[in-house]
C-alpha cells in the first residue's frame, strides 16, 4: 500500500473525525480484540489468533481446498443458523461476544430471502432434499411476516407494529420467492411475490432509484446498490410473463449506470460511507447489472461491469487478499478485508468467465476463493464457527466485526457452487 494511501486512510479514520469518535472506535477495537483473544470458548480464541498471525506474517493455513466439502459445510452452517432461531428464519449470524442466545442473533428477513435461493441451488446441485425443505420453511415464514404494503421489513425480525419497510430487503426476499415458485408453483408464494414486486415498482422514483431505503442505513442519498432488486423484479416478470416488471428492472439498472465513473467506480454505493464503498455493496451493484445484462442481452450492461471488475482485479494481492473499501480512484480505503465482498466479486468474475471464456476472470476468482477457503474451518467443535465465513479479515475488521453474518457464508456458498460447476465442465471438455 502506498504511503499516500496509508495517510489518506489514517486521515479519514483517525484525524478528520472528532477526537471522541476516534477514541471510542479505537477503544472498541481494543476491547473486542481482548475479549476474543481471552474468550471462554477455545475455538473462538484459536481462530482469533489465527487471523492475527495470518495478518501479521501472511501465514497460510495449508487446509485442503475440497470445493464440495466446503460447500456442504457452508450450507450446513446456514441450516444451523436457522435452527438457532425460534422461528423458521435464519439468524443474522453468530457473534460470540453477544451474551444472549449463545451468540446467535435473531432472524434476519432480508438475507433469509436470498439464502432461500442459495439452498435451493445447492439442493439441486447435489440432489439433497433437506436443504430444499429448509428453504421452503424460510419462504413460508417470509410470507407470514410480510408487511401489508407488500414490503419486507428492515433490520432483524420484529413485531408487526414495529416493522418499517425497506426496498432492498423486499427485493432480496422476492428473489427467494421467485426461486421457490420455480420449484413448486405455490399460489401463496407467487401472490406474496406479486405484492412485493408491486411495492418495488411503485417505489421507483422518476429518476429510476428506489426511495424507501429504510431506517437501518444512512438516509438522505441514493443507494446505488439497491439496483440488485432489479434482478428479482426481472425474474418475476419472466415468471408471470408481464413486461412491466422487466421494464422497471431495466430502468433501475440504467439509473445505476449513471452513477458510474469512466474508471468503473460507482458513486452513492455504500451503506453509510459513500466516499469509499465496501466491496460488499460494489458486489451487489455488479451482480445486478451483470445478471440483468445477461437476461436482457444488454451488452452495454455487461461492459459496464467489466470496466469496474477490471479495476478491482488489479487490487487483489497474490495471496487473494482484497481491501474492504475503495476510494473513487481505486486506491484502498481500509486496513481490513470484507469477506462477503470477496465472495461476491468472485461470483461476478466466475460469471464473466462463463460469458467471455477469458481465463483471467476465473483465475482471479480462484485466487479470492483460495483466501476464503483458508479462513473457513470445517472441523470446529463450535457450531457457530464450523463452515462459516466471518464478516471481516481479521475478524476484528471494520465490517460486521467480531462475528459471522449469515450473508458472508451465503455468498461464499454461491461462489463455491460456481467454482465447482466451472471445474466440472472443464473436466468434461478435456
Q: Are 318 and 299 in contact (CB under 8 A)?
A: no
Q: How far apart are CA 160 and CA 369, in angstroms?
A: 40
All CATH 1.50.10.10 domain ranges in the chain, comma separated: 84-258
pLDDT value at 62 more than 60: no
pLDDT of residue 53: 83
Q: Which helix (H) or strand (E) holds 404?
A: strand 404-405
Helices and strands in the chain, H and E counts:
15, 6
Beta bridge partners of 404: 94
Q: How far apart are CA 418 and CA 303, in angstroms?
A: 21
pLDDT value at 64 more than 80: no
More confident residue, 356 or 218: 356
Q: How far apart are CA 416 and CA 264, in angstroms?
A: 26
Q: Are 288 and 277 in contact (CB under 8 A)?
A: no
Q: What is the mean pLDDT of residues 19-43?
A: 83
pLDDT of residue 363: 97
Query: pLDDT digit string (tens) for 313-352?
Result: 999 999 999 999 999 999 999 999 999 999 999 999 999 9
Q: Which of 278, 282, 287, 229 is nearest to 415 (CA)?
A: 287
Query: pLDDT digit string (tens) for 201-236?
Result: 999 999 999 999 887 777 668 999 999 999 999 999
Residue 216's Cβ-side half-sphere holds a number of Cα atoms within 13 Å equal to 15
pLDDT value at 400 more than 90: yes
Q: How far apart are CA 344 and CA 364, in angstroms?
A: 12
Percent of the chain with pLDDT over 70: 97
Query: pLDDT digit string (tens) for 414-425?
Result: 999 999 999 998
pLDDT value at 63 more than 70: no
Q: How far apart are CA 226 and CA 361, in angstroms?
A: 25
Query: pLDDT digit string (tens) for 224-277?
Result: 999 999 999 999 999 999 999 999 999 999 999 999 999 999 999 998 889 999
pLDDT of residue 214: 82
Residues 6+ apart with CB under 8 A from 267: 224, 259, 261, 274, 328
pLDDT of residue 31: 87
Q: How far apart are CA 332 and CA 8, in angstroms?
A: 9
Query: pLDDT digit string (tens) for 146-204?
Result: 999 999 999 999 998 899 999 999 999 999 999 999 999 899 999 999 999 999 999 99
Residue 79's Cβ-side half-sphere holds a number of Cα atoms within 13 Å equal to 17
Other CB atoms within 10 Å distance of the CB of residue 61:
13
Q: Burial level of 124, CB count in 10 A (0-12/13-18/19+)? A: middle
pLDDT of residue 6: 81
- On whether the 84-258 domain is CATH 3.40.630.10, my answer is no
What residue has cell string 485466487?
367
Other CB atoms within 10 Å distance of the CB of residue 80:
19
pLDDT of residue 406: 98
Angle at 177 (CA atoms; ends 124, 123), nearest 5 degrees: 15
Residues 6+ apart with CB under 8 A from 376: 63, 70, 73, 74, 387, 388, 389, 412
Q: How far apart are CA 260 and CA 266, in angstroms?
A: 4
Query: pLDDT digit string (tens) for 287-297?
Result: 999 999 999 99
Q: Calculate helix-pair angle for 243-257, 299-313, nearest 10 degrees.
A: 40
Q: What is the mean pLDDT of the chain?
A: 93
Amino acid at each position: 500500500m502506498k504511503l499516500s494511501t496509508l495517510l489518506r486512510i489514517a486521515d479519514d479514520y483517525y484525524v478528520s473525525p472528532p477526537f471522541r469518535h476516534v477514541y471510542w472506535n479505537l477503544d472498541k477495537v481494543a476491547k473486542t480484540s481482548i475479549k476474543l483473544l481471552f474468550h471462554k470458548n477455545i475455538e473462538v480464541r484459536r481462530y482469533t489468533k489465527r487471523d492475527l498471525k495470518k495478518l501479521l506474517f501472511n501465514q497460510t493455513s495449508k487446509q485442503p481446498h475440497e470445493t464440495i466439502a466446503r460447500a456442504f459445510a457452508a450450507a450446513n452452517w446456514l441450516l444451523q443458523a436457522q435452527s438457532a432461531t425460534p422461528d423458521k428464519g435464519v439468524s443474522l449470524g453468530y457473534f460470540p461476544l453477544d451474551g444472549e442466545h449463545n451468540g446467535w442473533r435473531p432472524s434476519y428477513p432480508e438475507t433469509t430471502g436470498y439464502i432461500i435461493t442459495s439452498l435451493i441451488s445447492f439442493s439441486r446441485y447435489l440432489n439433497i432434499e433437506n436443504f430444499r425443505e429448509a428453504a421452503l420453511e424460510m419462504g413460508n415464514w417470509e410470507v407470514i411476516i410480510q408487511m401489508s404494503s407488500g414490503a419486507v421489513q428492515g433490520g432483524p425480525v420484529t413485531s408487526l407494529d414495529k416493522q418499517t419497510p425497506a426496498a432492498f430487503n423486499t427485493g432480496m426476499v422476492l428473489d427467494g420467492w421467485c426461486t421457490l415458485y420455480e420449484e413448486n408453483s405455490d399460489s401463496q408464494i407467487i401472490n406474496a411475490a406479486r405484492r412485493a414486486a408491486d411495492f418495488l415498482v411503485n417505489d421507483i422514483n422518476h429518476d429510476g432509484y428506489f426511495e424507501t431505503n429504510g431506517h437501518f442505513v444512512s438516509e438522505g442519498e441514493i443507494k446505488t446498490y439497491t439496483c440488485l432488486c432489479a434482478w428479482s423484479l426481472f425474474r418475476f416478470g419472466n415468471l408471470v410473463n408481464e413486461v412491466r416488471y422487466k421494464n422497471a428492472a431495466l430502468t433501475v439498472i440504467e439509473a445505476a449506470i449513471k452513477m458510474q465513473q469512466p474508471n468503473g467506480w460507482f458513486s452513492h454505493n455504500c451503506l453509510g460511507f459513500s466516499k469509499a464503498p465496501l466491496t460488499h455493496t460494489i458486489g451487489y451493484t455488479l451482480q445486478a447489472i451483470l445478471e440483468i445484462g445477461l437476461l436482457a442481452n444488454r451488452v452495454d450492461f455487461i461492459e459496464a461491469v467489466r470496466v469496474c471488475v477490471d479495476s478491482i482485479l488489479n487490487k487483489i494481492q497474490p495471496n487473494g487478499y482484497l481491501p474492504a473499501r475503495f476510494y473513487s480512484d481505486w486506491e484502498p480505503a481500509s486496513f481490513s478485508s470484507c469477506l462477503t465482498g470477496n465472495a461476491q466479486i468472485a461470483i461476478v468474475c466466475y460469471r464473466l468467465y462463463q460469458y467471455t471464456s477469458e481465463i483471467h476472470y476465473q483465475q482471479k476468482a480462484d485466487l479470492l476463493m483460495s483466501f476464503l477457503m483458508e479462513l473457513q474451518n470445517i472441523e470446529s467443535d463450535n457450531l457457530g464457527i464450523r463452515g462459516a465465513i466471518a464478516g471481516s479479515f481479521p475478524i476484528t475488521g471494520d465490517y460486521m466485526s467480531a462475528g459471522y453474518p449469515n450473508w458472508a457464508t451465503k455468498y461464499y456458498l454461491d461462489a463455491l457452487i460456481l467454482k465447482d460447476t466451472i471445474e466440472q465442465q472443464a473436466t468434461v471438455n478435456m
